[in-house]
Structure 1
Amino acid sequence: MERKLLSPEQIQSSIKEIPQWTLSGLKLNRKFKFKNFIEAFSFMTQVALICESYCHHPEWSNNYSVVEINLTTHDLGGISNLDFNLAKKINDI
């Protein structure tokens, strides 16, 4: 998939397509809350496999039952179509 940097207008109109994600600077952000660490880690494993298939990797953290994900396309210097596609796939989990 060809990566294309999105304009601020494109980002604002596209963010409606990814429920619970917010815009934080030049990143898409979402926090996920699970019952425990095992559920959080299982989720991260599923996300990791999707990210690897896209060859696009998130900035993320895990604190016990909370996983926070930030998506941006570093080499383009902002949010790209790939970030939105990845956010949709993550939401599908």
Structure 2
Amino acid sequence: MRLPETEVQALLAKVDGWKLTDERWIVKKYRFQDYLQGIEFVRQIALISENANHHPFISIDYKLITVKLSSWRAKGLTKLDFDLAQQYDDVYKQIKQGDGE
């Protein structure tokens, strides 16, 4: 179910670094120490997304990974988009901890 704007704004405040675009997407850029670290991130979030049957747009630009989330059926953002955003952030933190940052 598509979230009302007030709830989108409330949930957006709880996910670090995610930006609202076109009133129907949340987007975040993740930077990595090297290319393969970014690819590992993509692999892990792909598994999470597949298990949730909810797939983001992912752009790989060397060490910069951009992720865009929205819900096609709802024609906008849902709670699941924000749940996945938090899970992706958790994966990012785990990977970054592994490289000593």
TM-score (norm: length of structure 2): 0.86
Partner SS, residue 61 of structure 1: strand
Distance 1:83 1:50 in 2: 12
Residues 14-72 of structure 1 deviation map (CA, whole Å, 9 limit, x = unaligned): 11111111111110000000011100000000100100110000011001101000000
User: Where does residue 38 of structure 2 map in the other structure?
Assistant: 40
Partner SS, residue 76 of structure 1: coil
Quick one: which amino acid aligns to residue 22 of structure 1? K
Query: 1:73-92 counterparts in 2 under 5 A?
Result: 73-92=71-90
Residue 68 (1) aligns with residue 66 (2): yes
Quick one: which amino acid aligns to residue 14 of structure 2? E
Query: 1:7-22 counterparts in 2 under 5 A?
Result: 7-22=4-19
Quick one: which amino acid aligns to residue 17 of structure 2? Q
Q: Which runs of 5+ in 2 are unaligned?
A: 92-101
User: Where does residue 98 of structure 2 map in the other structure?
Assistant: none
Q: Which has the higher contact order (CA 8 A, sep 6+)?
A: 1
Structure 1 residue ranges, 4+ long, deviating more than 4 angstroms after superposition = none
RMSD between aligned alpha carbons? 0.7
Q: Which runs of 5+ in 1 are unaligned?
A: none
Percent sequence identity is 28
Quick one: which amino acid aligns to residue 13 of structure 1? A
